[in-house]
Structure formats: C-alpha cells, structure tokens
Amino acid sequence: MAGVNSNTCAIFIDNDGTPVAITSSTVDPAENNSDASNYPTGVKPIAFSTSANVSISNATYEVNFKTATAVASDAAPSFAATRAYNVGTQTGSMSFDGVVDFTDATDVMDIDALFQAVVGKTKITAIWASTDTNANAYGAQGFMTSFELSSSVDDFATFSGSIELIGDITEI
C-alpha cells in the first residue's frame, strides 16, 4: 500500500482573476500532477498552509411510484409501492488552514492574495493536490467564501479559509 503523506498536500489557486477551465486534460497525466509548473498559468499553492481539505457531496432525490402486477385470468392487477433514489446536483468545497507569515514569497498565494480573493469576490480556480506521485489531483472553479486570521496568547497566529466550488469537481 502506498500512502500519501499529508505534509505533501496543498490547495493551489489562481490569483489573476481569470479562472481557467479544469478538465482531465489540463495536466499531462504522465507528469507529476502536484508540480505547480504543470498547472495552468497563475495557479499557485497557498503559502504556509498546514492543512488542505476537499469535500464533495451529491444531492439525492427520492421518487415514489407504484408498480402494477400483470392481469391474470383469475385475479385483478395489484399495485405495490416502490421507492427509488437517484443522484442530482454535486456540490463541493475546499478549506485550508495555515500559519500566518507576512513574508513576501514568490510563486505562492500569500496572506494578502488570499484576503484580496475574498474581498474581490472573483471566481477562482482551486486544485487540491499533493507533491506525492502516488496521489491524484482534483479541481474546480469557485469563490472564496471565507477567510479568517486568528491569534491567541503564546501561540502562532493562524489563518483559515474556505472555497465554495461551482460545477462538478474534476480529477486532474
């Protein structure tokens, strides 16, 4: 069994305000999917993150109907209640946590860029990926819906945020 080390996981997002379409052909599958250079221009990992989460849900709906038995020469048809389920709309979100560091860093999404993504209310591209070659990557477009900076006495200042995804999430 080849497990994926969680220290290698991150969320990559764009910061140029022009989201790119995510398809299974966005990244060459023969390459290491987690290498940011393989992703579309502008997609960068969140700096100093300590966790990266992706959540997908499928809405289900229920249908109730009756099925009829065939008519026999000696019996009338009968009806039996039947219940069926199906899958409807898919929803997804990504969330992240990290340690606050206001150092200017290149090739990453820093605290200011994350804050601007929330305030700017622009559509972004989000990708959950790992630098481990055994891992898959998942991506979609969405909006940053929350961003929080927090601190407590004698502890590191931290940040957290969430991204509400729109459309279906695609394995990259």
For the segment 37-63, the average pLDDT, to the nearest whole number, is 79
Q: Is there a domain that residue 134 lies in?
A: yes
Instruction: Give kind and range of the element (H or E) at residue 113.
Output: helix 111-120
CATH number, position 166: 4.10.410
Q: Is there a domain that residue 145 lies in?
A: yes
What dihedral angle (degrees, nearest 10) is formed by the CA atoms of 120, 55, 90, 115? 0
Q: Is there a domain that residue 32 lies in?
A: yes
| 29: confidence class by pLDDT, cuts 50, 70, 90 | very low
Q: Is there a domain that residue 157 lies in?
A: yes
Residue 160 confidence (pLDDT): 93
Q: Is the pLDDT of residue 2 over 80?
A: no
Residue with tokens 């060459």: 28
Q: Is there a domain that residue 76 lies in?
A: no
Q: Is there a domain that residue 104 lies in?
A: yes
Q: Is there a domain that residue 71 lies in?
A: no
Q: How far apart are the first and last CA of the chain?
A: 22
| 27: confidence class by pLDDT, cuts 50, 70, 90 | very low
Q: Is the pLDDT of residue 48 over 70?
A: yes
Say how many domains are in the chain.
1
Q: What is the pTM of this model?
A: 0.72
In which domain, by residue range, is 11 found?
6-57+91-171
Q: Is there a domain that residue 15 lies in?
A: yes
Q: What confidence tens digit (pLDDT) does each residue in 108-122 have?
A: 788 888 888 899 888
